[in-house]
Structure 1
Protein backbone atom coordinates (compact mmCIF):
# COMPACT_ATOMS: atom_id res chain seq x y z
CA UNK A 1 0.00 0.00 0.00
CA UNK A 2 1.06 3.59 -0.54
CA UNK A 3 1.20 6.14 2.23
CA UNK A 4 -0.30 9.64 1.94
CA UNK A 5 0.53 12.56 4.21
CA UNK A 6 -0.48 16.22 3.97
CA UNK A 7 0.54 19.88 4.24
CA UNK A 8 -1.07 23.14 3.07
CA UNK A 9 -0.22 25.70 0.35
CA UNK A 10 -1.81 27.22 -2.78
CA UNK A 11 -1.10 25.50 -6.09
CA UNK A 12 -2.23 25.27 -9.72
CA UNK A 13 -3.99 21.93 -10.41
CA UNK A 14 -2.51 19.57 -12.97
CA UNK A 15 -5.22 20.32 -15.55
CA UNK A 16 -5.39 23.99 -14.59
CA UNK A 17 -8.82 23.61 -12.95
CA UNK A 18 -9.94 21.10 -10.33
CA UNK A 19 -13.12 20.24 -12.24
CA UNK A 20 -11.03 19.04 -15.21
CA UNK A 21 -9.41 16.23 -13.21
CA UNK A 22 -11.62 13.52 -14.81
CA UNK A 23 -10.04 14.42 -18.19
CA UNK A 24 -6.50 13.86 -16.92
CA UNK A 25 -6.24 10.22 -17.99
CA UNK A 26 -7.87 10.92 -21.36
CA UNK A 27 -5.28 13.62 -22.07
CA UNK A 28 -2.49 11.24 -21.04
CA UNK A 29 -3.73 8.58 -23.43
CA UNK A 30 -4.44 10.69 -26.51
CA UNK A 31 -1.45 13.03 -26.27
CA UNK A 32 1.26 10.39 -26.40
CA UNK A 33 2.67 11.18 -22.95
CA UNK A 34 3.21 7.47 -22.29
CA UNK A 35 6.00 7.54 -24.86
CA UNK A 36 7.58 10.54 -23.12
CA UNK A 37 7.45 8.69 -19.80
CA UNK A 38 9.06 5.60 -21.33
CA UNK A 39 11.89 7.74 -22.68
CA UNK A 40 12.31 9.42 -19.29
CA UNK A 41 12.60 6.06 -17.53
CA UNK A 42 15.15 4.85 -20.08
CA UNK A 43 17.15 8.08 -19.76
CA UNK A 44 17.39 7.72 -15.97
CA UNK A 45 19.55 4.59 -16.22
CA UNK A 46 18.00 3.08 -13.11
CA UNK A 47 19.71 0.34 -11.14
CA UNK A 48 18.51 -2.11 -8.51
CA UNK A 49 17.87 -0.61 -5.09
CA UNK A 50 17.88 3.02 -6.17
CA UNK A 51 15.49 5.59 -4.71
CA UNK A 52 13.30 7.49 -7.16
CA UNK A 53 11.23 10.63 -6.54
CA UNK A 54 8.58 11.98 -8.92
CA UNK A 55 7.97 15.69 -8.22
CA UNK A 56 4.43 16.57 -9.28
CA UNK A 57 3.50 12.92 -9.66
CA UNK A 58 -0.16 13.58 -10.49
CA UNK A 59 -2.13 10.35 -10.83
CA UNK A 60 1.02 8.21 -10.82
CA UNK A 61 1.48 7.42 -14.52
CA UNK A 62 5.25 8.00 -14.49
CA UNK A 63 5.68 6.13 -11.19
CA UNK A 64 3.72 3.21 -12.61
CA UNK A 65 5.81 3.16 -15.79
CA UNK A 66 8.96 3.21 -13.67
CA UNK A 67 7.83 0.47 -11.31
CA UNK A 68 6.69 -1.85 -14.09
CA UNK A 69 10.15 -1.73 -15.69
CA UNK A 70 12.14 -1.64 -12.45
CA UNK A 71 10.41 -3.65 -9.72
CA UNK A 72 13.45 -3.38 -7.45
CA UNK A 73 13.62 0.41 -7.00
CA UNK A 74 12.01 2.46 -4.21
CA UNK A 75 9.28 4.78 -5.49
CA UNK A 76 8.28 8.13 -3.95
CA UNK A 77 5.84 10.73 -5.25
CA UNK A 78 4.98 14.30 -4.25
CA UNK A 79 1.98 16.31 -5.43
CA UNK A 80 -0.11 19.10 -3.84
CA UNK A 81 -3.43 17.60 -4.96
CA UNK A 82 -4.86 14.95 -2.63
CA UNK A 83 -7.40 13.85 -5.26
CA UNK A 84 -4.57 13.20 -7.69
CA UNK A 85 -2.69 11.27 -5.01
CA UNK A 86 -5.74 9.15 -4.22
CA UNK A 87 -5.97 8.15 -7.88
CA UNK A 88 -2.24 7.44 -7.95
CA UNK A 89 -2.55 5.22 -4.88
CA UNK A 90 -5.30 3.15 -6.50
CA UNK A 91 -3.46 2.92 -9.82
CA UNK A 92 -0.20 1.77 -8.25
CA UNK A 93 -1.97 -0.73 -6.01
CA UNK A 94 -3.75 -2.27 -9.01
CA UNK A 95 -0.37 -2.60 -10.75
CA UNK A 96 1.03 -4.43 -7.73
CA UNK A 97 3.42 -1.60 -6.96
CA UNK A 98 4.34 0.01 -3.67
CA UNK A 99 5.19 3.72 -3.32
CA UNK A 100 5.23 6.41 -0.67
CA UNK A 101 3.03 9.32 -1.76
CA UNK A 102 3.05 12.66 0.04
CA UNK A 103 1.05 15.83 -0.34
CA UNK A 104 3.85 18.32 -0.81
CA UNK A 105 5.32 21.05 -2.94
CA UNK A 106 8.23 21.18 -5.34
CA UNK A 107 9.61 24.32 -3.70
CA UNK A 108 10.00 22.67 -0.27
CA UNK A 109 10.63 18.95 -0.57
CA UNK A 110 10.27 17.27 2.81
CA UNK A 111 13.26 14.97 2.42
CA UNK A 112 16.82 15.06 3.81
CA UNK A 113 19.77 16.13 1.70
CA UNK A 114 21.11 13.52 -0.74
CA UNK A 115 18.03 11.26 -0.39
CA UNK A 116 17.51 10.14 -3.99
CA UNK A 117 19.37 8.66 -6.92
CA UNK A 118 16.86 9.88 -9.52
CA UNK A 119 14.33 12.71 -9.54
CA UNK A 120 11.64 12.85 -12.22
CA UNK A 121 9.36 15.74 -13.10
CA UNK A 122 6.88 15.58 -15.98
CA UNK A 123 5.00 18.60 -17.38
CA UNK A 124 4.97 20.39 -14.04
CA UNK A 125 7.67 23.06 -14.24
CA UNK A 126 5.62 25.44 -16.43
CA UNK A 127 2.92 25.53 -13.73
CA UNK A 128 5.31 27.38 -11.40
CA UNK A 129 6.08 31.09 -11.39
CA UNK A 130 9.67 32.15 -12.04
CA UNK A 131 10.92 32.25 -8.41
CA UNK A 132 9.24 28.91 -7.67
CA UNK A 133 10.98 27.26 -10.63
CA UNK A 134 14.36 28.20 -9.17
CA UNK A 135 13.29 27.08 -5.70
CA UNK A 136 12.18 23.73 -7.08
CA UNK A 137 15.43 23.12 -8.93
CA UNK A 138 17.45 24.10 -5.87
CA UNK A 139 15.45 21.56 -3.87
CA UNK A 140 16.00 18.89 -6.51
CA UNK A 141 19.74 19.55 -6.39
CA UNK A 142 19.64 19.32 -2.60
CA UNK A 143 17.86 15.95 -2.41
CA UNK A 144 19.91 14.30 -5.18
CA UNK A 145 22.90 12.22 -4.16
CA UNK A 146 26.34 12.70 -5.76
CA UNK A 147 26.04 11.14 -9.20
CA UNK A 148 22.25 11.51 -9.06
CA UNK A 149 20.14 12.26 -12.11
CA UNK A 150 17.28 14.67 -12.81
CA UNK A 151 15.04 13.76 -15.74
CA UNK A 152 12.59 16.59 -16.42
CA UNK A 153 10.09 16.87 -19.25
CA UNK A 154 8.17 20.05 -19.93
CA UNK A 155 6.42 21.95 -22.68
CA UNK A 156 8.61 24.00 -25.01
CA UNK A 157 7.10 27.25 -26.31
CA UNK A 158 7.98 29.45 -29.27
CA UNK A 159 9.13 33.06 -29.07
CA UNK A 160 6.22 35.53 -29.02
CA UNK A 161 3.81 32.71 -28.16
CA UNK A 162 3.20 32.75 -24.39
CA UNK A 163 1.80 35.87 -22.77
CA UNK A 164 2.40 34.85 -19.14
CA UNK A 165 5.79 35.10 -17.45
CA UNK A 166 5.81 31.51 -16.16
CA UNK A 167 5.26 30.23 -19.71
CA UNK A 168 7.85 32.55 -21.28
CA UNK A 169 10.36 30.87 -18.96
CA UNK A 170 10.03 27.81 -21.24
CA UNK A 171 10.96 29.53 -24.51
CA UNK A 172 14.00 28.19 -26.35
CA UNK A 173 16.81 26.90 -24.15
CA UNK A 174 15.61 28.63 -20.98
CA UNK A 175 14.86 25.40 -19.11
CA UNK A 176 18.30 23.75 -19.49
CA UNK A 177 19.96 27.07 -18.57
CA UNK A 178 17.84 27.24 -15.43
CA UNK A 179 18.74 23.65 -14.54
CA UNK A 180 22.45 24.37 -15.06
CA UNK A 181 22.18 27.46 -12.86
CA UNK A 182 20.93 25.18 -10.07
CA UNK A 183 24.25 23.33 -10.17
CA UNK A 184 23.54 20.33 -12.40
CA UNK A 185 25.35 19.33 -15.58
CA UNK A 186 22.89 19.16 -18.46
CA UNK A 187 22.83 17.02 -21.59
CA UNK A 188 21.41 18.22 -24.93
CA UNK A 189 17.62 18.57 -24.84
CA UNK A 190 15.68 15.72 -26.43
CA UNK A 191 12.64 17.04 -28.27
CA UNK A 192 9.52 14.94 -28.63
CA UNK A 193 6.39 16.09 -30.46
CA UNK A 194 3.12 15.04 -28.86
CA UNK A 195 0.00 14.10 -30.80
CA UNK A 196 -1.63 17.00 -28.95
CA UNK A 197 -0.34 20.10 -27.14
CA UNK A 198 2.87 20.70 -29.11
CA UNK A 199 6.43 19.77 -28.22
CA UNK A 200 8.00 18.48 -25.03
CA UNK A 201 11.66 18.89 -24.15
CA UNK A 202 13.24 16.11 -22.08
CA UNK A 203 16.14 17.33 -19.97
CA UNK A 204 18.68 14.96 -18.39
CA UNK A 205 21.00 16.53 -15.83
CA UNK A 206 23.48 15.05 -13.36
CA UNK A 207 25.07 15.94 -10.04
CA UNK A 208 28.85 15.75 -10.07
Structure 2
Protein backbone atom coordinates (compact mmCIF):
# COMPACT_ATOMS: atom_id res chain seq x y z
CA UNK A 1 0.00 0.00 0.00
CA UNK A 2 2.86 2.37 0.75
CA UNK A 3 4.90 3.53 -2.21
CA UNK A 4 8.66 3.40 -2.01
CA UNK A 5 9.84 6.94 -1.36
CA UNK A 6 12.83 6.28 0.92
CA UNK A 7 13.99 9.89 1.03
CA UNK A 8 10.64 11.66 1.21
CA UNK A 9 10.99 12.78 4.83
CA UNK A 10 13.23 12.24 7.79
CA UNK A 11 11.90 9.08 9.43
CA UNK A 12 10.44 10.02 12.78
CA UNK A 13 10.48 8.23 16.10
CA UNK A 14 11.11 4.77 14.68
CA UNK A 15 8.12 4.66 12.33
CA UNK A 16 8.50 2.29 9.41
CA UNK A 17 7.00 4.76 6.97
CA UNK A 18 8.33 6.77 4.04
CA UNK A 19 6.33 9.74 5.34
CA UNK A 20 5.83 11.39 8.72
CA UNK A 21 2.48 10.28 10.21
CA UNK A 22 0.22 13.12 11.28
CA UNK A 23 0.87 12.59 14.99
CA UNK A 24 4.44 11.34 14.65
CA UNK A 25 3.34 7.78 15.46
CA UNK A 26 0.28 5.93 14.21
CA UNK A 27 -0.72 5.07 17.78
CA UNK A 28 -0.90 8.78 18.68
CA UNK A 29 -3.28 9.70 15.87
CA UNK A 30 -6.44 9.71 18.07
CA UNK A 31 -4.90 12.57 20.08
CA UNK A 32 -3.74 14.59 17.09
CA UNK A 33 -6.72 16.93 16.86
CA UNK A 34 -6.56 17.68 20.57
CA UNK A 35 -2.86 18.49 20.20
CA UNK A 36 -3.47 20.86 17.29
CA UNK A 37 -6.14 22.62 19.32
CA UNK A 38 -3.80 23.00 22.29
CA UNK A 39 -1.08 24.37 19.98
CA UNK A 40 -3.45 27.03 18.67
CA UNK A 41 -3.48 25.73 15.12
CA UNK A 42 -7.12 26.59 14.43
CA UNK A 43 -6.39 30.31 14.62
CA UNK A 44 -3.47 29.88 12.22
CA UNK A 45 -5.71 27.96 9.82
CA UNK A 46 -8.24 30.77 9.97
CA UNK A 47 -5.55 33.27 8.98
CA UNK A 48 -4.36 31.11 6.05
CA UNK A 49 -7.91 30.78 4.72
CA UNK A 50 -8.51 34.53 4.97
CA UNK A 51 -5.20 35.20 3.22
CA UNK A 52 -6.14 32.86 0.35
CA UNK A 53 -9.29 34.87 -0.49
CA UNK A 54 -11.21 31.86 -1.75
CA UNK A 55 -13.97 32.53 -4.27
CA UNK A 56 -16.90 30.49 -5.60
CA UNK A 57 -15.70 28.02 -8.20
CA UNK A 58 -12.10 27.95 -7.00
CA UNK A 59 -10.38 24.57 -7.04
CA UNK A 60 -8.27 24.36 -3.88
CA UNK A 61 -5.69 21.77 -2.81
CA UNK A 62 -4.12 21.38 0.61
CA UNK A 63 -0.74 19.64 0.58
CA UNK A 64 -0.06 17.54 3.68
CA UNK A 65 -3.58 17.86 5.05
CA UNK A 66 -3.20 15.39 7.93
CA UNK A 67 -6.63 14.87 9.49
CA UNK A 68 -8.17 17.58 7.33
CA UNK A 69 -8.60 20.50 9.71
CA UNK A 70 -7.45 23.23 7.31
CA UNK A 71 -9.20 21.70 4.29
CA UNK A 72 -12.50 21.50 6.19
CA UNK A 73 -12.14 25.04 7.53
CA UNK A 74 -11.53 26.32 4.00
CA UNK A 75 -14.61 24.48 2.73
CA UNK A 76 -16.78 25.97 5.45
CA UNK A 77 -15.40 29.43 4.74
CA UNK A 78 -16.21 29.14 1.02
CA UNK A 79 -18.85 26.43 0.45
CA UNK A 80 -18.90 27.08 -3.33
CA UNK A 81 -15.21 26.15 -3.75
CA UNK A 82 -14.02 22.62 -4.50
CA UNK A 83 -11.58 21.36 -1.85
CA UNK A 84 -9.11 18.47 -1.99
CA UNK A 85 -6.90 17.49 0.93
CA UNK A 86 -3.85 15.38 0.03
CA UNK A 87 -1.54 13.46 2.34
CA UNK A 88 0.51 10.24 2.19
CA UNK A 89 -0.90 8.99 5.53
CA UNK A 90 -3.93 6.73 4.90
CA UNK A 91 -4.94 6.65 8.57
CA UNK A 92 -5.04 10.45 8.77
CA UNK A 93 -7.03 10.61 5.52
CA UNK A 94 -9.59 8.16 6.86
CA UNK A 95 -10.04 10.36 9.92
CA UNK A 96 -10.37 13.45 7.70
CA UNK A 97 -13.08 11.77 5.64
CA UNK A 98 -15.07 10.95 8.77
CA UNK A 99 -14.82 14.55 9.97
CA UNK A 100 -15.99 15.90 6.59
CA UNK A 101 -19.04 13.63 6.48
CA UNK A 102 -22.05 15.59 5.23
CA UNK A 103 -20.02 18.22 3.38
CA UNK A 104 -20.19 18.22 -0.42
CA UNK A 105 -17.46 19.37 -2.81
CA UNK A 106 -14.66 18.11 -0.59
CA UNK A 107 -12.53 14.96 -0.79
CA UNK A 108 -9.28 13.52 0.53
CA UNK A 109 -6.71 11.73 -1.61
CA UNK A 110 -3.45 9.94 -0.92
CA UNK A 111 -0.50 11.76 -2.49
CA UNK A 112 3.09 12.71 -1.78
CA UNK A 113 3.83 16.43 -1.93
CA UNK A 114 6.74 15.88 -4.31
CA UNK A 115 4.65 13.73 -6.72
CA UNK A 116 1.20 15.27 -6.92
CA UNK A 117 -1.17 13.24 -9.15
CA UNK A 118 -2.79 16.31 -10.72
CA UNK A 119 -2.60 18.03 -14.07
CA UNK A 120 -0.63 21.20 -14.71
CA UNK A 121 -2.57 24.34 -13.85
CA UNK A 122 -5.41 22.42 -12.20
CA UNK A 123 -5.82 24.57 -9.07
CA UNK A 124 -6.56 28.19 -8.23
CA UNK A 125 -5.20 27.98 -4.69
CA UNK A 126 -2.86 25.69 -2.75
CA UNK A 127 -2.67 25.62 1.06
CA UNK A 128 0.01 24.27 3.39
CA UNK A 129 0.11 24.35 7.18
CA UNK A 130 3.04 23.14 9.29
CA UNK A 131 4.20 20.69 6.65
CA UNK A 132 7.35 22.08 5.03
CA UNK A 133 9.56 21.89 8.11
CA UNK A 134 9.16 18.08 8.12
CA UNK A 135 10.72 17.68 4.67
CA UNK A 136 14.38 17.26 3.77
CA UNK A 137 15.85 20.03 1.62
CA UNK A 138 15.70 18.22 -1.72
CA UNK A 139 12.16 16.98 -1.12
CA UNK A 140 11.05 20.42 0.06
CA UNK A 141 12.27 21.94 -3.20
CA UNK A 142 10.63 19.16 -5.25
CA UNK A 143 7.34 19.68 -3.39
CA UNK A 144 7.38 23.41 -4.09
CA UNK A 145 8.15 22.74 -7.76
CA UNK A 146 5.11 20.44 -7.88
CA UNK A 147 3.02 23.15 -6.21
CA UNK A 148 4.04 25.56 -8.97
CA UNK A 149 3.19 23.00 -11.65
CA UNK A 150 -0.36 22.27 -10.48
CA UNK A 151 -1.26 25.94 -9.93
CA UNK A 152 -2.81 27.90 -12.78
CA UNK A 153 -0.86 30.99 -13.90
CA UNK A 154 -1.78 33.72 -11.44
CA UNK A 155 -2.83 31.16 -8.83
CA UNK A 156 -1.36 31.32 -5.36
CA UNK A 157 0.16 29.09 -2.69
CA UNK A 158 -0.48 30.04 0.94
CA UNK A 159 1.80 28.65 3.64
CA UNK A 160 2.07 28.89 7.40
CA UNK A 161 5.01 27.23 9.12
CA UNK A 162 7.38 27.59 12.01
CA UNK A 163 10.44 29.65 11.21
CA UNK A 164 11.16 32.91 9.48
CA UNK A 165 12.99 35.62 11.34
CA UNK A 166 13.50 33.51 14.46
CA UNK A 167 15.46 34.92 17.40
CA UNK A 168 16.28 33.45 20.86
CA UNK A 169 13.75 35.90 22.32
CA UNK A 170 10.95 33.98 20.58
CA UNK A 171 11.05 31.29 23.25
CA UNK A 172 12.24 27.76 23.91
CA UNK A 173 10.98 26.23 20.65
CA UNK A 174 12.63 29.02 18.69
CA UNK A 175 15.94 28.46 20.48
CA UNK A 176 15.73 24.74 19.70
CA UNK A 177 15.10 25.55 16.03
CA UNK A 178 18.14 27.82 15.90
CA UNK A 179 20.29 24.87 16.97
CA UNK A 180 18.59 22.28 14.79
CA UNK A 181 20.33 21.63 11.48
CA UNK A 182 17.17 20.18 9.95
CA UNK A 183 15.23 23.39 10.73
CA UNK A 184 17.69 25.59 8.84
CA UNK A 185 15.53 25.53 5.69
CA UNK A 186 12.76 27.29 7.60
CA UNK A 187 14.85 30.06 9.13
CA UNK A 188 15.31 33.60 7.89
CA UNK A 189 14.62 34.06 4.17
CA UNK A 190 15.08 30.38 3.33
CA UNK A 191 11.50 29.57 2.35
CA UNK A 192 11.07 32.63 0.07
CA UNK A 193 14.40 31.76 -1.54
CA UNK A 194 13.24 28.19 -2.19
CA UNK A 195 9.97 29.47 -3.61
CA UNK A 196 11.76 31.82 -5.97
CA UNK A 197 14.24 29.12 -6.99
CA UNK A 198 11.43 26.98 -8.44
CA UNK A 199 9.76 29.90 -10.22
CA UNK A 200 7.32 31.51 -7.78
CA UNK A 201 6.91 35.20 -7.06
CA UNK A 202 6.87 35.08 -3.27
CA UNK A 203 6.45 37.29 -0.25
CA UNK A 204 6.31 37.06 3.51
CA UNK A 205 2.79 38.11 4.46
CA UNK A 206 3.27 38.19 8.23
CA UNK A 207 5.53 36.79 10.93
CA UNK A 208 4.54 36.59 14.55
CA UNK A 209 5.77 35.28 17.84
CA UNK A 210 3.70 32.32 18.92
CA UNK A 211 3.34 31.35 22.55
CA UNK A 212 3.68 27.60 21.92
CA UNK A 213 5.44 27.31 18.54
CA UNK A 214 8.11 30.00 18.94
CA UNK A 215 7.61 31.94 15.72
CA UNK A 216 5.27 31.28 12.82
CA UNK A 217 5.41 32.93 9.43
CA UNK A 218 2.81 33.22 6.68
CA UNK A 219 3.92 33.19 3.05
CA UNK A 220 2.16 33.90 -0.23
CA UNK A 221 3.64 32.61 -3.50
CA UNK A 222 2.14 33.30 -6.94
CA UNK A 223 2.70 31.39 -10.16
CA UNK A 224 3.65 34.09 -12.69
CA UNK A 225 1.31 34.66 -15.62
Contact 1:155 1:199 in 2 (8 A): yes
Q: Distance in 1 between matches of 2:47 and 2:213?
A: 18
**Is 1:49 aligned to 2:53, yes or no?**
no
Cα deviation, residue 164, structure 1: 4.6
Contact 2:75 2:106 in 1 (8 A): no
Match of 2:189 in 1: 173
Cα deviation, residue 156, structure 1: 0.8
**Is 1:196 aligned to 2:204, yes or no?**
no
Cα distance change of structure 1 residues 192 and 19 upon mapping to structure 2, 3 Å threshold: farther
**Is 1:182 aligned to 2:198, yes or no?**
yes
Match of 2:3 among 4, 8, 30: 8
Contact 1:104 1:110 in 2 (8 A): yes
Cα deviation, residue 7, structure 1: 5.5
Cα deviation, residue 152, structure 1: 0.8
Match of 2:15 in 1: none
Q: TM-score, normalised by structure 1?
A: 0.90
The count of aligned residue pairs is 202
CA RMSD of aligned residues (A): 1.8
Q: Distance in 1 between matches of 2:220 and 2:2?
A: 29
Cα deviation per residue 1:69-124 (whole Å; 9 max; x = unaligned)?
Answer: 10000011110111100110011115x34422111100100001001000001100
Q: Secondary structure at the match of 2:100?
A: helix
Match of 1:206 in 2: 222
Q: Any gaps of 5 or more consecutive residues in structure 2?
A: 5-17, 168-174
Contact 2:81 2:105 in 1 (8 A): no
Higher relative contact order, chain-length normalized (CA < 8 Å, sep 6+): 1
Q: Any gaps of 5 or more consecutive residues in structure 1?
A: 1-5
Cα distance change of structure 1 residues 81 and 105 upon mapping to structure 2, 3 Å threshold: same
Kindly report which structure 2 residues correspond to 1:59-208, keeping only aligned pairs within 5 A, or say none: 59-94=67-102, 96-156=103-163, 158=166, 161-162=176-177, 163-208=179-224
